[in-house]
Structure 1
Amino acid sequence: MPGFVLLVRQRGDGDDALGIGYTVSKKVGNAVTRNRMKRRLRELCRAALPESGIVGADHVLIGRPGGNDIVFAELGEHLDSALKRAAKKLAQ
């Protein structure tokens, strides 16, 4: 995805809780830019993961440069698409 990278890994510990992590490196920009990106990623996950998240898995979103320039609704669509692809890969 252009605004972020999504990594999903099954924990295999029998717990149904969703694990969520965020990371934005200095390559993305200064502290203000990185914090804004993390806030946007948190809000995306707050909206999408309860319905679309993979039960019993850890989800990590890695912010990419230019992610703050993408419209928030479009980022939400990208996250939904990435979650569907991840669920399909884990099901195989």
Structure 2
Amino acid sequence: MQLETLGKNQEFKNLYRRGRSYVGKYVVLYVCRRQDERKRVGFTVGRKIGAAVARNRIRRRLKEIYRLLYPQLQEGYDVVIVARMRARDVPYRVLADEVEALVHKAGLLVKEEAGAPWRRG
């Protein structure tokens, strides 16, 4: 499954300016309603977090977390997930639980299945 992503810098800027933010210990979630029914996502991992290897590792983790949550998310939203400095040293499951909690707090979950995908079996 190919995720539809935000690509242009202007799209990120608009979302930061017009969207609502939900702040966690490891990530910040920005959410903005769309006119159509598309779901788009962007990931931001700043240089302060570390070398490219560390940033790419965090980005891969965030993409996988979003991919697993994708079927449960409402249509018609743009989402940007921004990694905070502390995200570098946190285990995957802790990061995943926080992203799920922020998505839930933002009201983006359509249905709650039997727990998050990373908690099943």
Q: Same fold (TM over 0.5)?
A: yes
The 2-side partners of 1:2 and 1:76 are apart by 12
Give the aligned residue type for 1:86. Answer: A
The answer as to 2:43 corresponding to 1:22 is yes
Match of 2:59 in 1: 38
> Number of paired residues?
85
Q: Tell whether the 8 Å contact from 1:48 to 1:76 is kept in structure 2 after alignment.
A: no
If the length of structure 1 is used for normalisation, what is the TM-score?
Answer: 0.83
SS of residue paired to 1:87 = coil
What is the correspondence of 1:13-92 to structure 2 with a 5 Å cutoff? 13=35, 15-51=36-72, 53-87=73-107
Higher relative contact order (CA 8 A, sep 6+): 1
- Give ranges in structure 2 of 5+ residues lacking alignment: 1-23, 109-121
Segments of 4+ in structure 1 off by > 3 A? none
Q: How much is the aligned-residue C-alpha RMSD, in angstroms?
A: 1.4
- Output the TM-score relative to the length of structure 2: 0.65
Q: What's the CA shift for 1:42?
A: 0.5
Unaligned runs of 5+ in 1: none
| Structure with greater Cα Rg | 2
Q: Distance in 1 between matches of 2:93 and 2:47?
A: 25
